[in-house]
Structure 1
Amino acid sequence: MRDFALAPPSVSPLTGGLADSLFETAARNPTLPLIARRPDAASTVWEEVTAVELRDEVVDLAKGLVASGISPGHRVAIMARTRYEWTVLSYALWAVGAEVVPIYPTSSREQVEWILRDAGCVAVVVEDEQGVMTVGSVCATLGSLRQVWQLDAGALEELAARGQFIPSATVDSLRRIVLPDSTAVIAYTSGTSGRQLGCALSHRNLASPCDTLLAGWGHTAAPPGEQGRVLAFLPFSHVYGLMIQGLCVRGGLLMGLEPDVSPQSLSSALRSFRPTYFYAVPSVFEKIYKNFLRTAQQAGRGALFERAAETARDFATATERQRLGRGSGPGLDLRLQHALYERTVYRRLRAALGGRAARGTSGGSPLSRELSLFYEGIGMYVHDGYGLTETGAAVTMQPLGREKSGTVGQALPGMELEVAADGEILVRGPSVFQGYVNDPAATAAALRNGWLATGDLGRLDSEGYLTITGRKKDVIITSSGKSVAPTALEQRLRMHPLIHQAVVVGDNRPCVGALITLDPEFLVHWRAGLIMQGDTPLREAREENALREEVARAVAAANSTVSRSESIRVFRVLPEPFDVANGLLTPSMKLRRDAIVQRYAVEIDAMYQARSRPPRLGAADDLSGLDGLDGLDGLDDSDNVFR
């Protein structure tokens, strides 16, 4: 294969476990603030915890764990939101050689039971009474589970008190026998199809990408001479969130912890904490963009925002061509327009994100090039990262000064990438996991001669930049034999402010179709902006027709990016979103495609049957001028899903 890995930075070899970095920082720079938290979502005051304070709390808790019978190799589950106790617990467990098993607090009873049993957990830490009830309902089937600790009932304080008679030297002795290849985390896959698998990740697996990123890119986390500030709101139950925690603790960055991810709390946290680097998932970046647009439209400045957004993308595109040696950069007119919008629009948009972040990372699923260019154009470059649970998160990164939006960059130093003949991405390197617990067959299928078969599809360009095109298992084969990767179409559909979610379907069907859900907040705003007169029934019918046409335009825009044989020919708008509660999203917000197709089998059948019927005549339903879309859900009264 061709080696396109980025130039290796200087990284000290790992000699112990993940907890060592906290103890080393506390000894070297005890007053360095490492954690910031606020008492509630309404507060703008962040209380800081120094390295020595955090270490002392970790030691006290570790002694309590020892007194409670937790030994090296024991597995303890943490089922809580991203909060201070999560960090203290994880480092205390690692300090005594125990293994952390993250569980999403939104997980179903069945998921909790499976993970606790499959991992053989001896204890579980829950957040509240609801967590106690969930675990309590399955305890009878869990022979190894001995302890259930509740954070909101003062469990950590009780544990610390229980361990007062244990010498601190005991914790030091246990910590020093933890080896880099000892298992640190059993992270369960999202379970988008089939049973969740427990990925055994060593201390080296988790530390390696963090240390590599800090060595090569750590200086970009803040202006020179300042301590970087990162707002951690993604769940630590996901390996992406764990990587953020590791980056902050190992790199001496100030980590602000925000457990409440509601739009109001997150907006308040960004404005008051003011991060210097912004990590999120694509849905967050998409939501922020749509909120910008909606706010501008409500203020009567929608057209101004759209012009400013287009200028931002044009400016970023020209800047990208220049840094890649393919152009001279933005021309005079574009620079003047950009400078004007910088004064009137862009700085206000950045202020909503805290005003200090010049760079950001999106991970978890693909980020569109269009969005990446928009954020770069307003002054905050956001690159799309690539990694898996099985790789301890990061696998690639953008080379500094050679960033290319729409790709996930090049392989990290020490990592190797290869694309197989069928398009599957293969990965090899120090962060590749140890295997799936209790499933040697799945491990053998995933690890082939040292290479991890990721299940992701992609392509490497001539310079080694990787572009993710989808998941191997998600590829749709139409009845005519056409293969379609749904990710790009779904991504493009979600760019329309009205569209919240999209699932492309079409296996063994004559053409590609889509199930669409609408953004409830933007839908209310969109309806308010319509000027519809007349009697209520007629007004509602015209409003409904207008909404159908708007969604059809979004579909047509998405189709413009693919060939006709790959384009969406039929679609159905669903009355409710896909979410974790109805079992159609994983706790990490990934689509459960098989469950969605099964749940909406009747609607999918009706969608294709409507396409085969002759179209009705009538101006209200005539969408033939919309870029060749045909059979758009029949658009008859019986198919009405907007009421």
Structure 2
Amino acid sequence: MDGFLFCYCKWSGQGSALDKELSKEEIINLLTTADCKAIFYTSSYKNTFKDVDIPHKFQMEVYSKKAQHDQENTWEYLMEEGRKMLGKGDRRYVDMILDPMEVRMLLFTSGTTDVPKAVMLCHKNIVSNVQDISRIVKLKEDDRALSILPIHHTFESSVGIMVVLFQGGSVAFYEGLKYVVKNLAEAQATLLVGVPLIFESMYNKIWKQAEKSDMTKALNMAVKLHKTLKKVGIDARKKIFKSVYSNFGGRLRMIVTGAAAISPNVVRGFQDLGIEIVMGYGLTEAAPLVSGTPDFTDRYGKAGSVGQVVPSGQLQIIDKNEDGIGEIIFKGPNVMLGYYNMPEKTAEVLKDGWFHTGDLGFVDENGCLYLTGRKKNVIVTKTGKNIYPEEIEEYLTKIPYIEECMVYGTDNDETGETIVSVQIRPAYETINDDFGCSDDQDEVYKLLKGKIADLNQTLPNYKRIRHIVIRNAEFVKTTTHKIKRQENVIE
């Protein structure tokens, strides 16, 4: 953990965790938006805040060095002053009576489709959601999570940290993505909370490694044996998949994924390897969980679902189309108080206690929720047909030569029609392994064009991809690895 930012707002005790990967200009913009009066930061940000006009600045160390109590702008100094106050009998902070409905936290939305907004959360929002999540995900006292997501994000702070501690587990913090495997082993972690991109990459690497080692057939046989034994109540996964588990530290037993849709094939694949995988759907505005796949549901059979609504919440699908797909709205004690200093934006999404998520989906006969996309992302053709980019992207990511992609609509200048376009970041390593032509951009384009032509034959005419753009640069993303669509569109 090489950096930390936390701002203290104008209220008595409210704070806002900030994304340490933002630029100086973005950080200052958020500080201003949140009306922050103080900021806590590690030494790596000392120069960043040197000339920032904010009343109080406090430098702290995550891995504490020798305290320098003569410096009044350090975390150590504040802690020492607090101990002195307690020693003199000043217990105002310790004995403070908390209002569960008072704003206590500001968290900024990721801004994948709009400008970031400061979400106001209270203690009741957070506590009720931690309790609900604990009814969905049952942990053991010896469980240990390896924290790999930014801790300013609600998914990580609630699911990856507070829920684990609430149920008696422990948390270790990783050193960076390239050290995940090493840190899993060092921490002897049993639980990993992350986003689909991480787990899809992990799963693909398992099978690529098996292929390189000429062990694909053996791994397939091991999967069949595990499934057969499981049917008769025998759990031998630790022995059967010992080599797989050793790559993840030897104790990993559960994965929790959220923040975006994950491929059902990956969900079933991890379960076939004896690693339980829990899917969830949430938003910052819901602190964050709206739905999840409980222990008592068929996670294997419902691999494409994000589960049932949390126990204390209510969920509805409104403005349904002929396929039953509509906007997801949610009501519950975890719904935010509103957006800070944005009454108009708040009124747009909070109506009669219902939070209008802007996400689209449907609910099956068992009450399981399925996501189909974002309302703002839907491509509407001239004939009134709706195309969900996320659906097409799911088909495309099954092509092994595509690393990442983003589907969007563009207008054809000649016909005036709205056509489906896609930007693709090729999987150059796989292309090179299979064809040896990763350095030839024309050949890479021809290869991908041919694969997409095959895919188009399986799609209705109006959903077919008509325009392909190859990009070598990474997509602009949020820190939770979600593509910022508006910032990546190329005509």
Category of TM-score, reference length = shorter chain? 0.7 to 0.9
Describe the SS at the equivalent of 1:457.
strand
Deviations, residues 187-210 of structure 1 (Å, cap 9, x unaligned): 001112332100001111111111
1:462 equivalent in alignment to 2:357: no
Q: CA deviation at 1:366?
A: 0.9
From 371, 385, 391, the counterpart of 2:266: 371
Determine the structure 2 residue equivalent to 1:610: none
Distance 1:160 1:365, change over 3 A: same
1:588 maps to: 480
Distance (whole Å) between structure 2 residues aligned to residue 372 and residue 230 of structure 1: 19
1:242 to 133, 157, 160: 157
Alignment match, 1:518: 426
Which structure has the highest helix share of the two? 1
Given that residues 383 and 405 in structure 1 are in contact (C-alpha distance below 8 angstroms), is that contact kept between their aligned partners in structure 2?
Answer: no
Q: Deviations over 1:353-383 (max 9, x none)?
A: 2333333210111112111111111111213
Confirm or deny that 1:256 pairs with 2:172. yes
Alignment-mate amino acid for residue 472 of structure 1: K
After the TM superposition, which residues 167-182 of structure 1 pair with which residues of structure 2 at under 5 Å, given as runs? 167=86, 170=90, 173-174=93-94, 176-182=96-102
**Pair 559,267 (structure 1): closer, same or farther in 2 beyond 3 Å:** farther
Question: How far apart are residue 469 of structure 1 and its match?
Answer: 0.8
Give yes or no for contact 1:479–1:507 (8 Å, CA) kept in 2: no
* 1:198-233 superposed Cα distances (whole Å, 9 cap, x missing partner): 00011111111111222x245x323xxx42211112
1:288 match: secondary structure: helix
Which of 388, 412, 434 in structure 1 is aligned with 2:337?
434
Q: What letter matches 2:205 in structure 1?
A: N
Match of 1:625 in 2: none
Deviations, residues 84-133 of structure 1 (Å, cap 9, x unaligned): xx8xx89xx89x9511211111112232111100111111122333x233
- Which residue is 1:452 aligned to? 355
Letter in 1 for 2:317: V
Q: Residue type of the partner of 2:139?
A: A
Secondary structure at 1:490's aligned position in 2?
helix
Please report how far the alpha carbon of residue 148 of structure 1 lies from its aligned counterpart in structure 2 after TM superposition: 4.0
- Name the CA distance, whole Å, in 2 between partners of 1:288 and 1:236: 21
1:147 maps to 2:61: no
> Residue type matched to 1:231 in 2?
L
CA 1:118–1:134 in structure 2 vs 1: closer, same or farther (change >3 Å)? Answer: same
Q: How far apart are the structure 1 equivalents of 2:221 and 2:90?
A: 60
Q: Match of 2:276? A: 381
Kindly indicate whether residue 432 of structure 2 is the aligned counterpart of residue 527 of structure 1.
Answer: yes
Letter in 2 for 1:372: V
Matching residue within 397, 410, 433 for 2:292: 397
Distance apart, 1:288 and its partner CA: 0.5
Q: Distance in 2 between matches of 1:490 and 1:170?
A: 59
Q: State which structure, 1 or 2, has the greater radius of gyration over its C-alpha atoms.
A: 1
Deviation at 1:347, TM superposition (A): 3.5
Matches within 5 A, 1:6-17: none
Contact 1:188 1:197 in 2 (8 A): yes
- 1:113–1:459 Cα change, 3 Å: same
Map Cα deviations across residues 592-635 of structure 1 (whole Å, 9 max, x no partner).
Answer: 211111xx23xxxxxxxxxxxxxxxxxxxxxxxxxxxxxxxxxx
Instruction: Tell me the residue number matched to 1:576.
Output: 473
Instruction: Give unpaired runs (5+ residues) of structure 1.
Output: 1-39, 41-78, 317-329, 533-538, 579-583, 602-643
Asked whether 1:204 is paired with 2:119, we answer: no
Letter in 2 for 1:167: L
Q: Deviations over 1:159-203 (max 9, x none)?
A: 323434211654564553122112221000111233210000111
1:351 corresponds in structure 2 to 246
Aligned residues: 465
Among 275, 284, 296, the alignment partner of 2:189 is 275
- 2:110 aligned to which of 181, 190, 204: 190
Task: State the distance in 2 between where 1:349 and 1:592 align.
Answer: 34
Asked if residue 294 in structure 1 is aligned to residue 208 in structure 2, the reply is yes
Separation of aligned partners in 2, 1:384 and 1:567 = 29
Deviation at 1:568, TM superposition (A): 2.2
Give the 5 Å matches for 1:544-563: 545=443, 547-552=444-449, 555=452, 562-563=459-460
8 Å contact from structure 1 (residues 396, 409) kept in 2 = yes
- Contact 1:477–1:484 under 8 Å retained in 2: yes
Tell me what 1:156 maps to.
75
What letter is aligned with 1:410? Answer: Q
CA–CA distance in structure 2, aligned partners of residues 172 and 392 of structure 1: 28
Quick one: which amino acid aligns to residue 290 of structure 2?
V
Instruction: Structure 2 unaligned segments of length 5 or more: list them.
Output: 66-73, 321-325
SS in 2 for 1:353: coil
RMSD, matched Cα: 3.4
Q: Distance in 1 between matches of 2:31 and 2:482?
A: 22
CA–CA separation in structure 1 for the residues paired with 2:256 and 2:117: 26
- Report the Cα distance in structure 2 between the residues aligned to 1:560 and 1:174, rounded to whole angstroms: 67
- Check whether the contact 1:489–1:559 (CA below 8 A) recurs between aligned residues: no
Distance in 1 (alpha carbons) for counterparts of 2:39 and 2:451 = 46
Task: Give the secondary-structure state (helix, strand or coil) at the position aligned to 1:406.
Answer: coil
Map of 1:535 onto structure 2 = none
* Corresponding residue number in structure 1 for 2:70: none
Whether the 8 Å contact between 2:400 and 2:430 is mirrored in structure 1 is: no
Distance 2:115 2:202 in 1: 33
1:319 corresponds to which residue? none
2:106 alignment partner, SS class: strand
Residues 459 and 468 in structure 1, CA contact (< 8 A), matched pair in contact too: yes
Quick one: structure 1 residues 242 and 544, their matched pair in 2 at CA, closer, same or farther if it must change by over 3 Å?
Answer: same
Is the 2:125–2:287 contact (alpha carbons within 8 Å) kept by the matching residues of 1? yes
Contact 2:335–2:355 (Cα < 8 Å) also in 1 = yes
1:103 and 1:112 in contact (8 A); partners too = yes
| Distance in structure 1 (CA, Å) of the matches to 2:83 and 2:36 | 25
**Rounded Cα–Cα distance in structure 2 between residues aligned with 1:540 and 1:347:** 38
Rounded to whole Å, the distance in 1 between the matches of 2:480 and 2:197 is 11
Aligned partners of 2:243 and 2:473: how far apart in 1? 33
**3-state DSSP of counterpart to 1:166:** helix
1:437 to partner: Cα distance: 0.3
Q: How many Å separate the matches in 2 of 1:477 and 1:508?
A: 11
**Separation (CA, whole Å) in 1 of partners of 2:86 and 2:238:** 58
Q: Which residue of 1 aligns with 2:71?
A: none
Give the secondary-structure state (helix, strand or coil) at the position aligned to 1:116: helix
Give the residue type in structure 1 aligned to 2:470.
Answer: V
1:396 CA displacement: 1.1
Alpha-carbon contact 1:184-1:201 (below 8 Å) kept? yes
Distance in structure 1 (CA, Å) of the matches to 2:268 and 2:78: 49
CA distance in 2, matches of 1:115, 1:357: 37
What amino acid maps onto 2:309 in structure 1? A
With over 3 angstroms needed to count, the CA separation of the structure-2 counterparts of 1:80 and 1:342, relative to structure 1, is closer
Verify the 8 A CA contact 1:308 1:341 in the aligned structure 2.
Answer: no
Letter in 1 for 2:186: S
Query: Counterpart of 1:516 in structure 2: which amino acid?
Result: I
Alpha-carbon distance in structure 1 between the residues aligned to 2:43 and 2:398? 37
